[in-house]
A = this chain, B = another copy of it.
Amino acid sequence: METEKINFLKTYLSLYISHFAVLADMKKADPEMVVLDVRNAPAQVKKNQIKGAVALAAKDLADHLDELDKSKTYVVYDWNAGTTLGKEALLTLLSAGFKAFELAGALEGWKGMNLPIEEI
Contacts A83-B104, A94-B6, A104-B83; A88 near B13 (Cβ below 8 A): yes
Chain B: CB-nearest residue to A11: B8
Report B-chain residues with C-beta under 8 Å of the C-beta of A80.
81-82
Instruction: Let me know if A1 is at the binding interface, CB within 8 A.
Output: yes
Q: Which A residues between 82 and 115 are near B, CB-CB below 8 angstroms? A: 82-84, 87-88, 90-91, 94-95, 104-106, 108-109
Closest-CB distance, A96 to chain B (whole angstroms): 10
The residues of B that contact A95 with a CB separation of less than 8 Å are 6
A9 touches B5 (CB 8 A): no
How many angstroms from the CA of A59 to the CA of B78 in the assembled complex? 25
**Is there a chain B Cβ closer than 8 Å to A44's Cβ?**
no
**How many copies altogether?**
3
Q: Is the contact region of chain A dominated by helix, strand, or loop, or is it mixed? A: helix
Once the chains bind, are A109 and B91 in contact (CB under 8 Å)?
Answer: no
Residues of chain B within 8 A (CB-CB) of A71 are none
Most buried by B among A6, A83, A106: A83
Q: Is the CB of B4 within 8 A of A8?
A: no
- Contact A11:B5 (CB < 8 A) given known A83-B109, A84-B104, A105-B82: yes
